């Protein structure tokens, strides 16, 4: 905004200067105009006196021509002088424009920064990048606790084969965002903060792409064995969430879950995922193969034990 205002002011000064008599092109034009005006009187007199013989009835014209011959040069000179040399303001126009330009461009040093890279703004943007990572991890955690999405509708989000392009892109974006955010500190330059924010944008886009693709495919690209195992596992885990440590069917339920886990090889599933479900009773969790309350797998879950 400051540069725009400066350019506007200079344009106005330049236009006024062009309109004034101080512009060189205006000098030449005015000189020609007033020169011709000054010569018109003497020319009229000479024509009436020597070139044409006027009838007696027009003798009065010769007197008028004599007066014009005397006055027009004076009037022309006076008009030209008044336009180009009348007062200090007209003579100082070049200095005024030069001073205005100098003040406009040197005055930039006194203007407040407008690039938003002050400490307060950098701190806010660092927080935005960190918040983006937290929100993405929260979105993953919410997905992971949704057993239907985890086993049935969107298992491709935790595919381990590396053949699902959207899942690979999401995992890569999350790794990049984690590294970018962890590298930020109070003295991080603006370029690093901007990079982290850009990575956050890509990570969110990758999450939605992977999520949409996984929902579209579902279990259709899995083998019949894995598809049946995932469907059965979803049913058994849902039953487990309604069980207790004293449930007489608990042993059979655990054997059935273990059998399903052993048949699944292209997506990450484990007893740790199941034990992390908050709906399970703590006493029941102690009887699961993990044997630990609150045990949770990592974000990618790659290489999780079954």
What is the structure's pLDDT at 120?
83
Per-residue pLDDT of the chain (306 residues; tens, 9 = 90+): 444 444 545 455 455 545 554 455 555 555 555 555 556 656 665 665 665 565 665 556 566 656 665 666 666 555 656 655 554 444 454 555 556 555 554 544 444 444 544 778 999 999 999 999 999 999 999 999 999 999 999 999 999 999 999 999 999 999 999 999 999 999 999 999 999 999 999 999 999 999 999 999 999 999 999 999 999 999 999 999 999 988 999 999 999 999 999 999 999 999 999 999 999 988 899 899 874 444 444 344 433 334
CB-based contacts of 226, cutoff 8 Å, min separation 6:
219, 263, 264, 265, 266, 267
* Coil vs helix vs strand at 100: helix
The residues facing 267 across adjacent strands are: 159
The residues facing 159 across adjacent strands are: 267
What is the structure's pLDDT at 79?
60
What is the structure's pLDDT at 31?
55
Rounded Cα distance between 292 and 151, Å, is: 22
Phi, psi at residue 45, to the nearest 5°? -65, -45
Rounded Cα distance between 212 and 210, Å, is: 6
Q: Which two tokens stand for residue 269?
A: 């599933």
What is the structure's pLDDT at 290?
73
CB-based contacts of 214, cutoff 8 Å, min separation 6:
153, 154, 155, 156, 157, 164, 166, 167
What is the structure's pLDDT at 292?
47
- The torsion angle over the Cα atoms of residues 246, 250, 252 and 256, rounded to 10 degrees, is 180
């Amino acid at each position: 905004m400051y540069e725009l205002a400066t350019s506007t002011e200079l344009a106005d000064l330049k236009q006024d200067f062009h309109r004034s008599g101080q512009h060189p092109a205006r000098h030449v034009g005015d000189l020609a105009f007033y020169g011709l005006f000054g010569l018109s009187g003497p020319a009229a007199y000479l024509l009436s006196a020597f070139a044409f013989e006027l009838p007696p009835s027009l003798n009065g014209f010769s007197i008028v021509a004599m007066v014009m011959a005397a006055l027009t040069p004076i009037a022309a000179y006076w008009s030209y002088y008044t336009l180009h040399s009348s007062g200090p303001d007209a003579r100082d126009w070049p200095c005024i424009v030069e001073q205005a330009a100098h003040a406009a461009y040197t005055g930039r040093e006194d203007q407040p920064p407008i690039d938003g890279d002050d400490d307060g703004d950098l701190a806010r943007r660092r927080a935005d990048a960190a918040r983006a990572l937290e929100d993405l991890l929260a979105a993953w955690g919410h997905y992971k606790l949704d057993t239907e999405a985890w086993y049935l509708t969107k298992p491709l989000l935790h595919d381990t084969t590396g053949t699902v392009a959207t899942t690979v892109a999401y995992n890569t974006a999350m790794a990049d965002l984690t590294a970018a955010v962890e590298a930020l500190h109070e003295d991080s330059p603006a370029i690093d903060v901007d990079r982290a924010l850009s990575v956050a944008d890509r990570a969110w886009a990758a999450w939605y792409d992977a999520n949409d693709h996984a929902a579209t495919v579902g279990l259709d690209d899995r083998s019949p064995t894995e598809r049946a195992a995932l469907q059965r596992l979803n049913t058994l885990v849902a039953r487990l969430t309604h069980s207790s440590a004293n449930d007489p069917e608990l042993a059979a339920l655990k054997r059935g879950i273990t059998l399903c886990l052993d048949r699944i090889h292209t997506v990450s599933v484990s007893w740790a995922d199941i034990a992390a479900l908050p709906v399970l009773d703590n006493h029941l969790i102690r009887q699961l193969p993990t044997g630990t309350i609150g045990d949770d797998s990592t974000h990618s879950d790659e290489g999780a034990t079954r």
